[in-house]
């Protein structure tokens, strides 16, 4: 139950902090490609659950610098496999699954049962997308187990069911794997209308 007492409104200036979910694709791109990406107006100490990505990237092989209101990621030579529970950060799962696709060891993403009830059944679509690009993956009730990358990756068609986060995550995979075809790429406008403009900058140069 909520009880709101009557009162007066007063105009104030309020700054909305940057969105860690949207920033995750660009930070992950640096880790995957070995380039450098800096995202401004992004609070490293944010209470947003997806702010934990910076710590994961540092743990698996990237150089991460946090300086007040920005996060900068520089990719290393390779990414190590990892085990992570995302029960409190479901929007981060597509980004992290794509990271795991390029890791040099097996990875496990846990706490994902609720992904079946997002804009799409993201648990099944993530598994299908990883498999379409050549990565071994097993779907459990609440987790994905992603193989170590013993076989080469290749292009393929990614079924997205018009889910913006599926499109943005696998777009980043396409920066390194040729021949990735995304279903309904325009659906990203529901959360990030400028995504493809910024994505084009990533594909033109290492530093963005």
Catalogue the active-site residues: 91
Element at 26 (helix H, strand E): helix 20-33
Tell me the residue ranges of DSSP E strands in 30-183: 36-40, 63-66, 70-74, 83-85, 107-110, 137-139, 144-146, 156-158, 180-182
Sign of CA dihedral 45, 95, 37, 21: negative
74/126 Cα distance (integer angstroms): 25
Q: Helix or strand or coil: residue 63?
A: strand
Per-position DSSP letters for 154-175, written without gaps between them: --EEE--TT-HHHHHHHHHHTT
- Comparing CA positions, the residue from 75, 19, 65 lying closest to residue 42 is 19
- Cα separation values, 136 from 47, 57, 124, 132, 153, Å: 34, 22, 13, 9, 10
From the list 98, 99, 97, 125, the residue with the least C-alpha distance to 111 is 97
- Would you say 142 and 113 are in contact if contact means Cβ atoms under 8 Å apart? yes
């Amino acid at each position: 139950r909520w009880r709101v007492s009557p009162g007066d409104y007063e105009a104030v200036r309020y700054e909305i902090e940057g969105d860690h979910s949207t920033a995750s694709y660009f930070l992950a791109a640096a880790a995957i490609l070995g380039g450098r990406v800096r995202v401004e107006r992004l609070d490293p100490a944010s209470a947003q659950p997806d702010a934990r990505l910076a710590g994961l990237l540092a743990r698996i092989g990237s150089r991460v610098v946090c300086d007040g209101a920005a996060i900068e990621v520089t990719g290393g030579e390779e990414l190590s496999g990892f085990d992570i529970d995302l029960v409190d950060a479901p929007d981060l799962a597509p980004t992290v699954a794509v990271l795991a696709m390029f890791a040099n060891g097996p990875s496990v993403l846990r706490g994902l049962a609720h992904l079946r009830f997002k804009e799409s059944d993201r648990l099944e679509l993530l598994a299908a997308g990883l498999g379409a690009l050549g990565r071994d993956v097993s779907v459990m009730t609440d987790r994905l187990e992603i193989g170590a990358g013993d076989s080469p990756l290749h292009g393929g068609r990614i079924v997205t069911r018009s889910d913006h986060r599926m499109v943005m995550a696998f777009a980043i995979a396409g920066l390194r794997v040729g021949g990735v075809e995304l279903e309904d790429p325009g659906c990203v406008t529901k959360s990030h209308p400028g995504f493809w403009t910024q994505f084009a900058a990533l594909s033109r140069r290492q530093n963005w």
